[in-house]
Structure 1
């Protein structure tokens, strides 16, 4: 929400929407980076860790937001971006000055020439992981954009400064961190040979345990929550990362379930893989690991478009499927309304560095502008970054927003959904209330049913007291299913706790309507 009419959402805008968040029923807010930044990568290139980007407000605004949230029993966590900084950070500006500069080893430098980089590793954003600096005849390393040089975690002085910054924020009063790209902080030796995985040289590399243990020591000295974005950490090793006693952090984001199927430019989410991956993570993290559950985030297209058919039913079925799993659910802004992908018509409508680079790569390969745009925008992360829909006219700002509003604000917005008892928003409220009302959704075990069905995701959550069945049709076609015997035992009684369709029945053989979701408790 934009509070000062500059077209950009800000901290006072979030303050104004605390009543909405409290009505929805959430327990904490995760803010993407709001630090001082040149904004090459939407704030993930930080030039001052202890300052707020003026377009978002001030440190005083943040303090007010934290207090207001706490008064409403809501906590607040921030992004902790410590794999890299901005190339405008004072540390890097000093580091570039000479090989002898005290800050030189805060970053990763190696001998190079314009024609020959230290190795052939590729960055996540395309191109080499190295950028040459002619003044010192070396290159610096970056796994993201060249404006985001990686920090050298082998340097104790750098780590000491990072740890001091972390404590500063925790003393400021925030309630924890989401650790961005944390599994990349350790790198292989520069002569490491890549075989099949291009990211292997900097993805959960041995030795990272030392740094994670040091971070854990800080985190455990405060009453906070930590969640790690840790690509390359397997479902089995994630249990070790998040073990309540021996783990480093409280929970982990896995990046595996956003599996695509189809030709480039026409991909959709793969429902069989979606179910298979999340079920494996459920199984491997029992009993001591803990997961961070999500279907939307700031790095992917909208789930209601890639896994659903952009209807209220698909939005609510997907919500039911993931929000009742074992773990802590995250709801990305607008997901609770069933917001959809944006119909991009021009490259000027995009903001993401990676997508702009991809577009020009397609042009360089000889594609037309229209074809390059289609291939670039089909799966761009910018789909999820368009402004929140508060009213039929948008309601995000009285000025031109930093990104265009989607064209469907007239039917997908907070005002209209708050007034409609059957809207996705009101369904999410019921779903959150249900999750909080039964301990089985927190502590119960997970067991998949109908595992081989390509369109239906069904599972049991069970503890000593309760047994609940979750049944979702994640397709836009009717599905006939025969339920397991123990789900329909005539000697038991069954209570429908929640459904996204009227007139739901519960019997051995069911015809599930498109994107129908049913939650049933066994008595």
Structure 2
């Protein structure tokens, strides 16, 4: 029986915070972050007062057992905890303490592939007749001819030849990450079982990895060569093929509906998908009423620091989503360089990151903050002998910088699993009491968002008379009118803005109170103004 949700859409109002558990806080001194470390810092995220960040929900990157070929995204047990991160009791403590603080917890579900050390795959590759053979995508053949031209997202062929059974298996990521076969109902039910396991333990939902890729063309047809390029997406992220047959297939939506039916059988749960559709307009297809509640929109994460790029991303999202689907916005995550590192130019990185923060937290939709961005953490320098990640993402996964103490207060260990960044200059303790710090800006922004109905519930409308190199937009409810004005240049800009009350500015030199007409924005300044 489906439980009727008494509080529909909590995720619309929430501010999410992404935590890479190995890098957030080490509770036992082994140099590796863990679940108890997360629990110990929940008051920093939300203690119910303006002194905390004001986070409503956290997303944990994978916490499952894994050989760590892809640092947790190669799962060897869907229903366990990696021993370096804790155990199920530690997870239960985290859930209980988070819920005491009204913080919801979603966990990473990685349903597209497993580790090649998962017992399912070990059985599957044992023989052609093994009962789990059809749990993965195996194609008999000869070593000189892969079944199709499909490419791995990490480079090279997406097929691996296994001489023991003279067959190829599909891996759209590393060869240690074989893809599951969602045309087999036993696989579907096994993943549904994993979903129920975590929901039964109190998880509030899931971030679902590579959800658009869960089913492939049944004829394994070759992908066409990519002809048109998206100017916002780096070549290494977009690839040389249009994944017409290996991803974003029509059948994937029924798989998502099945996952939705399972989560809807529990009270007040949700799913957000890592969605990479072939065209941005297709993202809304994943947000139908019986599919995902949220789908990640990566346009900001990919766009360079340019008002025109951001404006185009917003307008395209609003046009393709309409009123029925709810957007998400994110500036950084565990797969790409941190935005303050991407934006830094001529010493403007901090100011630019502040402008971007106002943009993300003032738009219509749900924001996702990546741990450390609220203090302006940059990518860490990783020496060659400390590299872990197979495709070079270590820099954006460095330990959280809590203080200026040893290892930035992350760990008492002599050696942390990844090198720390510049924690002497950038850390929580240094910024906590500084009213002009990045952390104080994020706290004020989140508090303002929560106390301003137009910023949560209001419609979005472009401000037509703004300079091209600025981004200005309206957020409106019948009772409140807000204008958000963002200057993406290193020079002042004049905005033809009606007089109003300035609710927030990123400039310490901006006096509080009324906004004069017209409004002159300082270089790299963002303001939020109530005009009616």
Matched, 1:404 2:419: yes
- How many angstroms apart in 2 are the aligned matches of 1:200 and 1:277? 23
- Give the superposition deviation at 1:453: 4.4
Matched, 1:480 2:480: no
- Report how many aligned residue pairs link the two structures: 479
Which TM-score applies when normalising by structure 1? 0.88
- Give the superposition deviation at 1:231: 0.2
- Give the superposition deviation at 1:308: 4.3
- How many angstroms apart in 2 are the aligned matches of 1:494 and 1:235? 36
| 1:192 aligned partner | 222
- CA deviations 1:137-187 (Å, max 9, x no partner) are 001001100000000000011111111111111111111000110000111
Contact 2:301 / 2:330 at 8 angstroms: preserved in 1? no
Give the 3-state SS of the residue equivalent to 2:391 in structure 1: helix
Unaligned runs of 5+ in 2: 1-24, 47-51, 227-240
- CA deviations 1:228-279 (Å, max 9, x no partner) are 1110165544334324xx241111102333346xxxxxxx555532331133
2:510 to 503, 516, 521: 503
| 2:161 aligned partner | 132
Give the 3-state SS of the residue equivalent to 1:53 in structure 2: coil
- CA deviations 1:201-236 (Å, max 9, x no partner) are 222112112211111111211221211111016554
Q: Which region of structure 1 is more displaced relative to structure 2, 499-508 or 173-182?
A: 499-508
Matched, 1:304 2:340: yes
Contact 2:146 / 2:159 at 8 angstroms: preserved in 1? yes
| 1:494 aligned partner | 500
| 1:366 aligned partner | none
* Cα pair distance change 1:453/1:137, threshold 3 Å: farther
| 1:109 aligned partner | 138
2:265 to 213, 217, 221: 221
Contact 1:259 / 1:270 at 8 angstroms: preserved in 2? no
Higher RCO, Cα 8 Å, sep 6+: 2
- How many angstroms apart in 2 are the aligned matches of 1:194 and 1:392? 52
| 1:208 aligned partner | 252
- CA deviations 1:351-397 (Å, max 9, x no partner) are 22123xxxxxxxxxxxxxxxxxxxxxxxxx32320110000131111
* Cα pair distance change 1:321/1:256, threshold 3 Å: closer
Which TM-score applies when normalising by structure 2? 0.86
Matched, 1:15 2:39: yes
Matched, 1:319 2:345: no
| 2:476 aligned partner | 462
| 1:437 aligned partner | 451
Matched, 1:78 2:107: yes
- How many angstroms apart in 2 are the aligned matches of 1:239 and 1:83? 21
- How many angstroms apart in 2 are the aligned matches of 1:514 and 1:339? 22
- Give the superposition deviation at 1:195: 3.4
- How many angstroms apart in 2 are the aligned matches of 1:254 and 1:518? 24
1:515 to 505, 509, 524: 524
| 1:5 aligned partner | 29
Please give the residue correspondences for 1:334-349 in structure 2 after superposition, counting only pairs within 5 Å: 334-344=372-382, 346-349=383-386
| 1:448 aligned partner | 462
Q: Which region of structure 1 is more displaced relative to structure 2, 274-283 or 13-22?
A: 274-283
Give the 3-state SS of the residue equivalent to 1:63 in structure 2: helix
Unaligned runs of 5+ in 1: 261-267, 356-380
| 1:64 aligned partner | 93
